[in-house]
Amino acid sequence: MDAMASIPGEGRVVGGRPSGCPHAFCGCEASLYTFGRVIPELNLASNWRRFPRAAPAPGMAAVRSGHVMILQQQVAGNIWYVHDGNSGGHVTREHPRSIAGYTIVNPTGGSTMFGAAARVTREARAPRYQRFARNARTDGWMASAAPMAFN
């Protein structure tokens, strides 16, 4: 039970369930936060265990049965400030949590199943309005347009 408890202290609600995410959305929120897009295979928290094991560090994912959260900053010992989708009450919080009992993985370290997820895609880097514009029309009205350059 200790590994699942929130640590008293500073924290804030940063959102609710993102559009396009399932009811149990911690994996979906973690993929949005880490990769900028929903990766359906990562909606299931246990699939995050397929990434390579790592030491706790900012950007790493803490995974246990049924939950995943992204490490942001160490507070003290095994207490980390985390980005925590579906952290209770169907909200996303950034708050201190104990990572005791969690497996730490590197989501940007590649894996056999999710190797493409480890790279930020051109689609994920595009501003939201550009992604919406690309996906909103299906009649090929910009099919001949030159691709945009990204930094």
| Residue 148 Cα to chain centre, angstroms | 26
CA torsion angle for 64, 29, 147, 109 (degrees, to 10)? Answer: -20
- What does pTM read for this prediction? 0.67
Confidence of residue 113 (pLDDT cuts 50, 70, 90): low
Q: What share of the chain is helix, strand, coil (3-state, %, to 5)?
A: 25, 25, 50
Interval 5-40: pLDDT, tens: 455 557 877 777 777 786 788 889 999 999 999 999
The string of DSSP letters for 62-125 reads EEETTEEEEEEEEEETTEEEEEETT-STT-EEEEEEE-TTPEEE-TTS--TTTGGGGSPPHHHH
Token couple for 133: 């514009």
Pick the range with the lowest mean pLDDT from 47-51, 58-62, 116-120. Answer: 116-120
Mean pLDDT for all residues in the chain: 75
Residue 33 DSSP symbol = H
